Amino acid sequence: MSGHEHNHEHSADGLNTTRELVLIGVALTLLAVGSIFRETLHATPYAVGEYAVFLLAYGISGWNVVASAVRNAAKGTFFDENFLMTIATVGAFLLHEMPEAVGVMVFFKVGEFLQDLAVERSRRSIVAVLELRPEYANLKQGETIRKVSPDTVQVGDVIVIKPGEQVPLDGEIISGQSRVNTAALTGEAVPRQVGPGEPVLAGMVNQTGVLTVTVTKPVGESAIARVIQLVEQSSSLKSRTEKFITKFAAYYTPVVVLAAVAVALLPPFIWPGETFADWLRRALILLVISCPCGLVISIPLGYFGGVGGAAKRGIMVKGSTYLDILAATRTVVFDKTGTLTQGVFKVAGVYPQSGFAGEELLRLTALAEVHSSHPIAQSIMEAYGQAVDSSLLTDYEEIAGHGVRARIGTQEVLVGNERLLRRENIAVAPVQEAGTVVYLAVDQVYAGYLVIADELKADAPAVVARLKAAGVEQVGMLSGDREPVVRDVASKLGLDFYRAALLPEQKVAFVEELLQQADKERKIAFVGDGINDAPVIARADVGIAMGGLGSDAAVETADVVIMSDAPSKVAEAIDIGRKTRRIVWQNVVFALGVKGVFIALGIAGAATMWEAVFADVGVALLAILNASRVLRQ
C-alpha cells in the first residue's frame, strides 16, 4: 500500500535511529506533561495551553502520517492506514479526547520505529552479501605492484593477494600456498587449502599466505558478481501470500471505513437514547483497530527474512514465491554426477584382453584422449602419469555419443563406450562393474577396458534422511550414466527411484510425467549442476542449481542456487521455505484474529483508544518480531 511505503522510505537508506529516538522522546514527554497538567493547561484562555502541548506532540509524532494521507488523497488513494489514523485522531481531537489522539500517534510512531528496526535488520542480512563487492586489486606489472580498481583489470593480468585481503577477481594461482575463507560464496565456514594451479574466486578471503594469481574472468563475470546479481533479483518475485494480502488490503480498508461510517450514523437513528458522540467515538476506535499495518509489513518482512536467512547460508532464492514452492515440495529429483557424486573421476581398474598388457592399454588410451578436456579423459591422463607424445597421434575423430577414433603410429585405436565397439562390429561382453567403463579396441581387436569411478559427496549418504525429515516424500535420481553405476549409487543412498542412461530430453520427459501425476499443491524440485541439466531445471516446479560456481546455464535457469557443493543444502532450503511460510501464516491468523476480537469490543463500546493502539501497533510489533525469527533459524 502506497501510504505505508512512504512511512518506511527512510529505512531504504538506513534508519536514522538517533533522530527517531529524539522525536519519540520529545513527543512522549509532551504527552506526559499534557496528561499530568491537563486541568491547569485547560484553564488557560481558550484552553490554548492544552491545545499547544497536545498539537505539538501530535505534529512531532504524526506529521508524516497526516502528510501521507493528504498526499495519497490528492492522488485518489483514500483507503490506506494513513487515512484511517488521520480520520480517527482528528475525530478524537474534535471530541476533545486529545491525550488519546496524541497517544495513538505517539505509540504508532514507536511501532513504526521498531518495525523499521526489524526491516533494517532483515535488509542488512542481504546487504551484507552486496557489500562483498571487492574494492581494489593489487595489479602486478613487472616488479611493481599498484592498487587499482577491479574494473580496470583485464583477463590475463597478474594480481597479488595478501593475507587478510579479499580475492577481487576469479583467477588461477601461479604461486603461493594459503587457506581461503569461502563463506561469502558458499555459506561454509571451514577454510579451504589452495596452491599453484588451483582456482580462486572473487569474494573469497585470503587468510594465511601471499598468492600470485592470473585473472581468468573480468569483474562483471566473477563469482561474487554472480552472487550479487542473484541477491538483487531476489525481491522481484512476490509470493502468492504477498499477492493475496495486497488484494485483501485493497478490499479490507474500504469495508472498514464503510463499517465505521455505519457504526457512527446508524445506531443513533435506530435506537432511541443513543448519542451520536458515543457512537462516533466507537467508530473512531474501530478505524484505529482496523489498520492493516501488521499484515502489510510483517508478511513481506517474513519473506524478506527468509530470503536473507537463506543467503546467509549460501542459498540464493531468486524470489519469495520460490520459498512457498520449496515449502510445498514433496518430490526431489537429483542429477548424479557433480550433484550427488564428486564429479572427480579416478581410474579404479585396468582390465586388458586379447594378450594386451595393462600398461600398454593405459598408454594407448591416454594418447587417444590427449586432446579431450572431459573429466574422464583427464582422469586417464592422471592415471597414466607420464608425458604424452602427441606427435604420435596422426589422426583424430570424435564420434558424438560414442567416443573417439585415433591413429597412433600405424595402429587404429577406438576408445569409448560399448556402443562404439558394437557399431564397428567388434565383439565385446558387457561389463557389470559399478563405474564408468571405457572400452578400447586396437586394429579392430578388442583390447580391454578401464573402469572409472566417481565418489559420493561427503554429505550425500545423509541427504535422503534429511529430506524426509524436511517433509519430502520421494527422493530420486536421473542420470545419463550406465545402469550398474546408477543402481549402485541409488542403493548406497537409499533413493526411492532412479533412471539411467537418459539424454537431457529424456530427463525432461520423465519430470513431465511426475508433474502430470502430482497433485497441484505437491511440488517437484530438480537439482542439477551441469549445462545439460538446464532444460529439466527449467521444467521442474522449482529448479535448484548445485554449486553456484559451476555451469552458467544451470545457474541462470535455476530458481534457487546453492553456492556450495553440498546436496544436504537442498533439505536446508526446504526447511527455510517451510519455516517462512509457517511464520507468515501465523502472522495472518494472529493479526486477523486479534483485530476481529477488538473490533467486536470497539463496536460494543468495551474498547478505548488505548486498547485500539494495542490492537494496531501491538499486533504489528508482535507479528514483526515473529517474522524476524526467520533470520535466526
Q: Which of 362, 387, 364, 368 is nearest to 451 (CA)?
A: 362
CA 530, 532, 534, 539 dihedral sign is negative
Q: Provide, for the chain, the percentages of residues in helix, strand and coil under a 3-state DSSP scheme, each rounded to the nearest 5.
A: 55, 20, 25
Rg (CA), the chain: 33
User: Residue 477 in 3-state DSSP?
Assistant: strand
User: Residue 344 in 3-state DSSP?
Assistant: strand
Q: Is 335 a catalytic residue?
A: yes
Order of strands, sheet of 393-399, starting from the edge strand that comes earlier in the sequence: 341-352, 445-456, 436-442, 411-416, 403-408, 393-399
Grid cell of 505 as nine digits? 530430453
Question: What distance in Å separates the CA atoms of residue 33 and residue 51, rounded to the nearest whole number?
Answer: 12
Q: What are phi and psi of 213, to 5 degrees?
A: -130, 135
| Annotated catalytic residue within 335, 541, 559, 575 | 335
Q: What are phi and psi of 549, to 5 degrees?
A: -100, 10
**260: exposed, middle or buried (Cβ count in 10 Å: 0-12, 13-18, 19+):** buried
User: Residue 107 in 3-state DSSP?
Assistant: helix
Question: What distance in Å separates the CA atoms of residue 243 and residue 289, rounded to the nearest whole number?
Answer: 23
Contacts for 183 with CB less than 8 Å, ≥ 6 apart: 189, 205, 314
Grid cell of 631 as nine digits? 533470520
Pairing assessment for the beta strands 315-317 and 560-562 based on DSSP bridges: antiparallel
Q: Which residues are catalytic?
A: 335
